[in-house]
Structure 1
Amino acid sequence: MELRGFDDGYGVQVAGWAANAKEVALLSGRVTYPFPEELRTSWRTADSDIHSYLLFDGDRPVGYGEVWLDDEEDEVELARIIVDPKVRGRGVGGELVRALLGPALDAGYSEVFVRVRPENAPAIRAYHGSGFVDVPAALMEEWNDGQPVPYRWMRYAGEQVGAGELRG
């Protein structure tokens, strides 16, 4: 599998991976279905701090994710991660997360985080398997203050796990 920069030509395909309103909400924060075109065209901004990627299996995109850089907080967040429903349950989510860690770690910030809905067990397994651990409960509570929904916040612990060689 290979991580490549996102090409807008795949936007409709990636938006189609959200199979229901709950998945649209996970990807965009809006509860609607199907994925609205105005969201698809606006989810990626010209913001130089947001880097979008596709994971390819040969010529076929199988996963999408973003790397958000935050100079002020000296941290990176992996965000808007979604896998093609046709390949879910096969470890692609974990491969995508590990691939996204490459540009996230290369950015040189002190921490890498991810936030996930607590009920998203497959994503949580993928994050744990990729070296993420929960932040302390008090910090999670603080970070959830003001969020539209409560998230499970996780940070990359710098472990070497999975097929790729990761560094911390």
Structure 2
Amino acid sequence: MELRGFDDGYGVQVAAWAVDEKEVALLSGRVAYPFPEELRTSWRTADADIHSYLLFDGERPVGYGEVWLDDEEDEVELARIIVDPAVRGRGFGGELVRALLGPALDAGYSEVFLRVRPENAPAIRAYHRSGFVDVPAGLMEEWNDGQPVPYRWMRYAGAQVGAGELRG
């Protein structure tokens, strides 16, 4: 397995991994299915604090994810994680998350978080196996305030926990 920076030439392929409206929304922020053609070249943000990656099995891309850096909060969020449906259930999601932890931790922020849809049991299991734990219920409720859907928020347990709150 090898984590590589995302190349826009893979955009159509990654967009096709979204198998329903929920997955399209998680990748693009738009509720639509199939992935809207007009978004296929623009769904990724050009924000300098967002770094996009592909996980390769040999020369085949099998997973996509982003590392979002937040200077203000001194944290990193792993986001928009998706695995090729043809290889789901084979451990590639966990491999992808562990690979994304490399650049996330190398960024030097004090915390690493991710959010997941509560009904996505396979992803939650992969995140637990990769060292993530749920944030306290009160923080989860606070962080879900204003979100378009409720998420299960998780923190990487190996990250440094600062004095005070987990997140500002």
For the 8 Å contact 1:160–1:167, the answer to whether it is kept is no
Please name the residue that 2:5 is paired with.
Answer: 5
Cα distance in 2 for residues equivalent to 1:103 and 1:131: 16
- Unaligned 5+ segments in structure 1 are none
Cα distance in 2 for residues equivalent to 1:165 and 1:57: 39
Change (3 A) 1:165 1:130: farther
Cα offset, 1:26, TM superposition: 2.8
Cα distance in 1 for residues equivalent to 2:132 and 2:141: 18
Cα offset, 1:46, TM superposition: 1.9
Residues 122-154 of structure 1, C-alpha deviation per residue, up to 9 Å, x if partnerless? 111111010000000000000000111110000
Cα offset, 1:41, TM superposition: 2.2
For the 8 Å contact 1:20–1:33, the answer to whether it is kept is yes
For the 8 Å contact 2:27–2:43, the answer to whether it is kept is no
Cα distance in 2 for residues equivalent to 1:165 and 1:91: 33
For the 8 Å contact 1:140–1:153, the answer to whether it is kept is yes
Cα offset, 1:160, TM superposition: 13
For the 8 Å contact 2:17–2:83, the answer to whether it is kept is yes
Please name the residue that 1:73 is paired with.
Answer: 73
C-alpha RMSD over aligned residues: 5.2
Task: State the identity as a percent.
Answer: 92
Q: Residue 15 of structure 1 aligns to a residue in which SS? A: helix
Cα offset, 1:21, TM superposition: 1.7
Cα distance in 1 for residues equivalent to 2:141 and 2:104: 25
Aligned length: 168
Cα distance in 2 for residues equivalent to 1:17 and 1:162: 37
